[in-house]
Structure 1
Amino acid sequence: MTSSLNPSATAAALPYPELADEIEALLSDPTVAVPARIVQALPGGGTLFAMPAVDARVAITKLITLIPDNAARGLPSIQGDIVVFDVATGQRTALLDGPTVTSRRTAAVSLLGARLLAPRRDGPLLIVGAGVQGRAHLEAFAAGLGVREVRIASRNPASADALVAHARTLGLDARRVDDADAALAECPLVVSTTPARQVALRGTPRDDAFVSAVGAYTPQMVEWAPEVCRDLAARGTLVVDTRDADHEAGDLLQAGIDVTAVPTLADWLASPRPVRGPVFFKNCGWGGWDLAAARLVSRRQQAR
């Protein structure tokens, strides 16, 4: 029987700490296979993504659309689903809300990165970009690291204020900041989740900072100034989520950094090494993270 989970049910099935654990487990699972995703341009400027992935027990296909100007229509920019199959029987076992999985698994990857790499985990946390990913990362770092202080920066003050209000409902000490570069001085945890159409951050992170850069996931996109990325490469630690970042990590590519020489999360797990701060973690996205979400949902279903 197929379980069709709406956005709220999908979110409830994917607690951030457990999802980060599942992502970590997936990175050491030799049965995982993730073919290259299919990216199909759509008339009008949108994009269709088809992303399969499989392990010894679960197979998925993620089908989502990205329509950048959907906000003007009152619609989400990302829409779609993840179909989950049982490998042994071929039966469809679940249908998950695609945008919900995308937001939660992306934030859980950043959470895992912070667990492994952050010199300091106590915050305050600075979130630059107050959209869907900003909210997901706020929730993930609160649930998974116990962060209690949050600073929110956005080019849209109303969006920042709305996320501050949400943070306060979670019992967090939250406030809006209008100068993200200045706020870097007081925040050892930083997450950038902007639309990445232009440089949003030119300041220098603290020596004990952990930065998760999320917004720029194509070579043309950028959030962090190239000179900042080069400085971090010279005096700190760079890590990427997967080898897909070699051709997707816009911030690093535009800084002229050889991304192929930067270790991945899987490299770090296989061969832990001392962390030299500040840490810049480039979170580009990968179909394996969606597979991790499907694995967690499947296991929770079986436990019921």
Structure 2
Amino acid sequence: MGSLNDVVILDAEEVARRAPYADLVEALEAGHRDPIAACERIVYGPEGDPRRFMALPAWQTQGAGGGAIGIKLVTIFPENPGRGLPSVQAVVLLFDGATGEVVAMLDGTELTYRKTAADSALGSKLLSRHDARTMLMVGAGGLGAHLIAAHRAVRPSIERVLIWNRTRDKAQALVDAGIAHEAVDDLDAAVADADLISTATMAQQPLIKGSLLRSGTHIDCVGAFLPDHREVDDDVVLRAEIFVDSREAATHESGDLVIPTTAGTIEVTAVRADLFDLCRGEHTGRSAPDAITMFENGGGGHLDLMTAQYVWGAR
């Protein structure tokens, strides 16, 4: 390339156009069969302050054309919705793996939403019951609509989407927009009624009680991406067959697993498989139709790199 003038710049609208959920899920599934990228996660933030700045570099040294390098720079400012801004904002840079040249700069906020939702949907495709009818979305923030759409793309059997949020107005807004069917106030009752549950909140105390989960439920945990955040209680991790997207990210950085393993409630070996194992056919997934499955979406730079490569290559 040689010049920044040659770098392809993809804004949010173009990222969305190039990455419909069903297609992106397929791309991520294929990506998990490729050589594994080396990746890292760097988190900064003032002590006692919920704001965070994160860098997620990833380098895949093998692959077509010499592999690829990518880095996502992301800010997390929980108070931003009150300013009319997304709580998560990001940019992704994609580099040629053979020459080190910058080839693309992508809107990282839209990429993050779609990557995260597709990651969860891939977990659902491989783990949730094919006859799931009722979905419960816990959290009506920026990710909520994306998660609902992505899960429904891989589970067209879903007929009803319930949504709960700490502030009902946000949940109702997604109902009014036709994205969900019903805003609920009684979270416990909704948990007991759901076949598939997706959680995307900033909760530091558990919201989902494992004692309420019915047989066959699949729970997709997205929000607890920091070690001190947690969306599910001990009963969930004790009752469920646990799967993760990446062992490194989920077991070291996601509070849903870090907190109970640190306390000795479960061992790290309770994690049965990750997406690499599942996509490569090295693990069959849920053990029985009535098993409760839990998928911890820990994220990771390798997923951003897979998504950026797909979006850049799509036309």
Query: Do they superpose with TM above 0.5?
Result: yes
Amino acid of the residue matched to residue 248 of structure 1? E
Structure 1, 88-97 or 128-137: larger mean CA deviation:
88-97
Deviates more, 1:68-77 or 1:241-250: 68-77
Shift of residue 114 of structure 1?
A: 0.8
1:280-299 → structure 2 map (5 Å cutoff): 280-299=294-313
User: Which ranges of structure 2 fall in alignment gaps of 5 or more residues?
Assistant: 1-5
For 1:160, the equivalent position in structure 2 comes to 171
CA distance in 2, matches of 1:85, 1:247: 27
Within 5 Å, give how 1:101-120 maps onto structure 2: 101-120=111-130
Alignment map for 1:23-172 (pairs within 5 Å): 23-30=28-35, 32-42=36-46, 45-55=50-60, 56=63, 57-146=67-156, 147-166=158-177, 168=178
Helix, strand or coil at the partner of 1:163: helix
Q: Secondary structure at the match of 2:74?
A: strand
> Aligned residue for 2:233?
225
Cα deviation, 1:56-80, whole Å, max 9, x if unaligned, reads 3332111111223333443322222
Q: How far apart, CA to CA, are the structure 2 residues paired with 1:247 and 1:69?
A: 26
State the alpha-carbon separation in 1 of the partners of residues 170 and 195 from structure 2: 23
**1:68 alignment partner, SS class:** coil
Distance, in Å, in 2 between the alignment partners of 1:95 and 1:165 is: 34
Counterpart in the other structure of 1:257: 266
State the alpha-carbon separation in 2 of the partners of residues 143 and 121 from structure 1: 14
Contact 1:114 1:121 (C-alpha < 8 Å) held by counterparts: no
Deviation of 1:140 after TM superposition, in Å, equals: 0.7
Q: Is the 8 A contact 1:246 1:260 kept in 2?
A: no
Q: Residues of 2 paired with 1:273 and 1:164: CA distance?
A: 36
Cα distance in 1 between the residues matched to 2:258 and 2:50: 24
Q: Which residue pairs with 2:219 in the alignment?
A: 211
Kindly state the Cα deviation for residue 45 of structure 1 after the two structures are TM-superposed. 4.9
Unaligned runs of 5+ residues in structure 1 are none
Which residue type is aligned with residue 177 of structure 1?
V
**What residue number does 1:197 align with?**
204
Alpha-carbon deviation of 1:274? 5.5
Q: CA deviation digits over 1:104-156, x for unaligned, max 9? A: 11110111111111123432111011111111101112223223321111111
Determine the C-alpha separation between the residues in 2 that align with 1:269 and 1:48. Answer: 31
- Supply the distance in 2 between the matched residues of 1:298 and 1:274 (Cα, whole angstroms): 31
Q: Give the direction of change, closer, same or farther, for the CA distance of 1:253–1:92 in structure 2 (3 Å limit).
A: closer
- Aligned-partner Cα distance in 1 for 2:255–2:308: 28
Identity %: 35
Superimposed CA distance per residue, residues 30-71 of structure 1 (whole angstroms, 9 cap, x where no aligned partner): 1x4232222222586532211111333332111111223333
Per-residue deviation, 1:247 = 1.3
CA distance in 1, matches of 2:88, 2:139: 17
Partners of 1:213 and 1:142 in 2: CA distance? 16
The yes-or-no answer on 1:238 pairing with 2:242 is yes
CA contact (8 A) 2:117 2:143 kept: yes
Separation in 2, partners of 1:5, 1:14: 12
Q: Aligned equivalents of 2:225 and 2:163: distance in 1?
A: 21
Equivalents in 1 of 2:294, 2:18: separation in Å?
A: 30
Q: Is the CA contact 1:42–1:48 (under 8 Å) kept in the aligned structure 2? A: no
- d(CA) in 2 for partners of 1:45 and 1:207? 36
Number of positions where the alignment pairs a residue of Structure 1 with one of Structure 2: 292
Separation of aligned partners in 2, 1:159 and 1:26: 34
Contact 1:19–1:292 (8 Å) recurs in 2: no
Deviations 1:239-265 (A, max 9, x none): 111112111231233332223441212
Per the alignment, residue 195 of structure 2 pairs with 188
* One-letter identity of the residue aligned with 2:306: A
**Aligned counterparts of 1:238 and 1:145: Cα–Cα separation in 2:** 20
Q: CA RMSD in A?
A: 2.0
TM-score by length of 1: 0.88
Q: Structure 2 CA distance, aligned partners of 1:161 and 1:177?
A: 9
Indicate how the Cα distance of structure 1 residues 45 and 190 shifts in structure 2: closer, same or farther if over 3 A, else same. Answer: closer
